[in-house]
Amino acid sequence: MTTNQDVRLTGVSAEQILDSRGHPTLQVEVVTADGLSFFGSAPSGASTGEHEARELRDGGTDFRGLGVTKAMTFVDSQIEPVLTEKAWTTLDQIDGTLAALDGTGNFAKIGANTAVAVSIACARAFAHQQRIPLHQWVSEQLGTTPVMPVPHFNVVNGGAHAANDLAFQEFLIAPTGARTISDAIQMGAEIYAALESELRSRFGALGVGDEGGFAPDTDDENQVLDVLVRSIERAGLSPGLNVRLALDAAANSFYDGKYYRLHGRWRSADDLLERYVHLAANYPIWSIEDPFDESDRDAWRDIVDRLGSTVQILGDDIFVTDAQRIRVGAKEGIANAALIKPNQVGTVTQTLEALRAAQEVGFRTMVSHRSGETLDTFIADLAVGAGTGQLKAGAPARGERVAKYNRLTRLQKLHPELRYAHWWAD
């Protein structure tokens, strides 16, 4: 029996668009029986976890092998016929059908890029069918209270995202002391401008990394953190009070299987741990993501023991938005928070499962973009609806990054009852 809550699709199609790095990616359109179109597009990572769901790329010479025409063909030849066959009661049914069509367990056949774009488009169709906003649909799936997240602006880039010698990939500012999202965005933009002047006077020519953060020519994270603190002050704000700092070391990218490369020297996990302890003691750093390689689980446990009571130890590549990996990680005590990236696992349904697992084990969560992005703003609604209190979507600059922050502004206008997160006071 079909009900008026069911979604009936009359068309599913895909196009190859360019992402923010100029690489091809997929945009999917689903058309519902009432003639409306809903879209979803796939982002793409550069510093990926070993166990991420697989992207489908063409290979060959066009676009240096990165084309997604095979994925488009899958949408036309296999996904559209199945998804237009019947009415769907839940997104879970559609996402389960995608997983069954794929059959590999990690989307190695149809591609996680294909799956995530279809799944996001369908999530929008379900919310519309129920005549509720997307963030509310998310919150109903999870039983959460929607909240405006604290934006984590990535303002200095290193690692795999920039051409400088900084080992750590991301230096983020989090306006935890803002009262509203518009305050927070203003703080982010004003600090970004102050930071640009500070860095220019110190380093001269200034590159920009993949996520819109500056890429100064240095390998010294102390120097970066000093400049960040000064820039916060120059913007008339108080480091640690209005604005806290966060790091994503993305340590997979400077690990050789045994040692970590920092400042041109190979260091043990213990040395690196001491470095984090020193940084957390000297700067208002409240969150450290991927401090060690995903295989170096003892080191993860050590950092939770040393810093976990005051610092968020956030797992990205080690959990890859996978519910089971989050549960195991919690049991092992290797983190106290999980990063949430829908394309890392493949579908919105699996993303919701990861969020549920994090809730169960008492982990905080941060919703995240990828270094290769599109103008799709799904993650903003996801962060609000899931009540994570944290969203990272890059610098407060560049279209594909500000699209997410601007979506928060829009949601605040449409839903003035949404409160700005205040987890730092917990």
Q: Which residue positions form the known binding site for (2R)-2-phosphoglycerate?
A: 169, 341, 370-371, 392
Catalytic residue among 211, 294, 373, 400: 211
Site string (353-372) toward ligand PGA, x via CB under 6 A: ---------------x-xx-
Q: Dihedral, CA atoms, 67, 407, 183, 245, nearest 10 degrees?
A: -30
Size of the site for ligand PGA (CB under 6 A): 11
**316 interacts with Zn ion by CB under 5 A:** yes
Q: Does 154 bind ligand PGA (CB under 6 A)?
A: no
Residue 211 annotated in active site: yes
Stretch that binds Zn ion, among 97-105, 283-291, 358-366, 391-399 (CB under 5 A): 283-291
334 by Cβ neighbours in 10 Å (0-12 / 13-18 / 19+) ranks as buried
Instruction: Report the partner that residue 401 touches, choosing among ligand PGA, Zn ion, none (CB closer than 5 to 8 A by kind).
Output: none
Nearest to residue 144, comparing CAs of 374, 390, 375, 355? 355
| Number of residues located near Zn ion, criterion CB under 5 A | 4
Q: Which stretch binds ligand PGA (CB under 6 A): 43-51, 142-150, 271-279, 406-414?
A: 43-51
User: Please, is 355 exposed, middle or buried when counting C-beta atoms within 10 Å of its C-beta (0-12, 13-18, 19+)?
Assistant: buried
CA-to-CA dists, residue 3 to 14, 30, 124, 383, angstroms: 28, 19, 18, 29
Q: How far is CA 421 from the centre of its chain?
A: 18
Count CA atoms closer than 13 A to 4's CA, side-chain side.
2
Shortest distance (Å) from residue 316 CB to Zn ion:
4
R_g over Cα of the chain: 21
Residue 373 interacts, among Zn ion, ligand PGA, none and using kind-specific CB cut-offs from 5 to 8 Å, with: none
Q: What stretch of H or E contains 417?
A: none
Bridge pairing between strands 312-315 and 285-289: parallel
Which CB, 174 or 250, lies closer to Zn ion?
250
Report, in Å, the least distance between residue 290 CB and Zn ion.
5
In the complex, what is the shortest distance from the CB of residue 341 to Zn ion, in angstroms, rounded to a whole number?
Answer: 9
- Closer to Zn ion by Cβ: residue 249 or 384: 249
CB closer to ligand PGA, 80 vs 248: 248
CA angle 303, 304, 309 (to 5 degrees): 120
Q: Is 248 in the site for Zn ion (CB under 5 A)?
A: yes
The CA-CA-CA angle for residues 130, 120, 348, to 5°, reads: 90
CB 323 within 8 Å of CB 338: no
Residue ranges for the known binding site are 169, 248, 289, 316, 341, 370-371, 392
User: Cβ(348)–Cβ(95) under 8 Å?
Assistant: yes
Please, what is the minimum distance in Å from the beta carbon of residue 289 to Zn ion? 5
Looking at beta carbons, which residue is closest to ligand PGA? 45
Among 58, 102, 198, 316, binds ligand PGA (CB under 6 A): 316
Question: Which C-beta is closer to ligand PGA: that of 21 or that of 234?
Answer: 21
Task: State how beta strands 244-248 and 170-174 pair.
Answer: antiparallel
Q: How far apart are CA 303 and CA 315, in angstroms?
A: 12
Under the binding rule (CB under 6 A), the answer on residue 294 touching ligand PGA is no
Q: What are the residues binding Zn ion (CB under 5 A)?
A: 248, 250, 289, 316
Catalytic residues: 211, 341
Give contact residues for ligand PGA (rule: CB under 6 A): 45-48, 169, 248, 250, 316, 368, 370-371
